[in-house]
Structure 1
């Protein structure tokens, strides 16, 4: 509820201008103006504790909530594992004492049905620009196709994230930099990204984080071969980025929370970096998959 603190009255202001630094407010005792007025005595000011309106609301599932995104209306969100949404706190504030933690995918696209949907049970909406088709239980991308999970727009991944998928790179494509999964926006790389560098024949794993006001980025590269199925895993635990390709692992140090992006999670393309080939079994976890 909006509350405005009492501001200085004219009589109080006159008292200050006469050199009186302490005044008595009814029911509140004495107020030392010299201690709280940054502009010096004789200047009227007003303090406010007006709170910003809550941009989230309860969901019928207590471990979820809905967040308002201009242009996209109310979008469902998952609370961090072990927490429940509190309308009073406008946050996932309550502890779920009954929940036994198991690392499960928050997003799962397995391409095993006629429609391309999230199969995790969390009912995350998947957008398709119409150019991604399900072909023999895998997603076929022609360089123009993209899937989008807009739920992840401006959503923090914190310090625990795992992304796994497998891909088959076909020949072709307008770009030598082809995205498998990313939340890139404009010309900036994603704060979470797996892409292919066709010039060096490498898979590029990227995580961008923030420590205070400082932005940091880790990039790990692993070789790949076109024309074969390749399994990849990107994992971040708050101190290390791990990039795994068919069981081969490389790491890089990194600290801080993963940076947010206004874009959602994009699969198969991001800012014109369209992938040509097949992608399958996309999993995103907000936990560390062992």
Structure 2
């Protein structure tokens, strides 16, 4: 089975509720069905915590969260799944699901070892612009948010994206070793993964990916640094494709109630997520632009829409 078929099948299985519900007290939803009964499931393990938090907050807000076969499936997914669909020439979320709400995102950070020659983002950006092939970058696997962020940064700087050398690693532990060992010049990753080591002084943050500075991190935003990029590894809730009007309205009501609730704000604070509430048609319109942006940067990186059988220097690892 081709990978794009596997991805589409995975979303379909999650949407059918076969993956099980992520939430507390899910079986006890009887009597709470006035505003709809929902089975909240993650598309994959990486969204299990978000799905669990959404289910818990929805239950606390009075909505029925159930594993019952007749419950309406709500799937929690996000940017990596969107990128994977593009990489595998698969259908988009707009083709396979009903957009309900953008929920939260993980802010990314561009960082270097404490002893790096790059004093700040301006210094790093100038070197990357002048010598992209000599400025080895690192982060998570190719085509995932860290790689996408660097593609957007390089494009924002005006450098040749296909000249960028990027090495993908399975976790931040390997990225840290590569940085400290001098194998790479700079890395990108979620702020939650790197905040402790930045505070300990092992690494320095050059910039954060959101539109504003982050409390406790002595680094400008990319926008403040002259790069027009506002980026987060976002997560979202979607319903089945062709979701009926009344059911969609009830699901939107649930997502809006959760996003405005104290339990949801608390779990976001505790997990280091940024709340990114956007609902219904507004979310669908934003999602269309995000699909376009993601497709564009993957093309710039040479990962899609290329006649070559190799990726070129921008994808050093992962073959």
Tell me the TM-score range normalised by the shorter chain.
under 0.3
Larger proportion of helix: 2
Larger relative CO (CA 8 A, sep 6+): 1 or 2? 2
- With normalisation by structure 1, the TM-score equals 0.23
Larger proportion of strand: 1
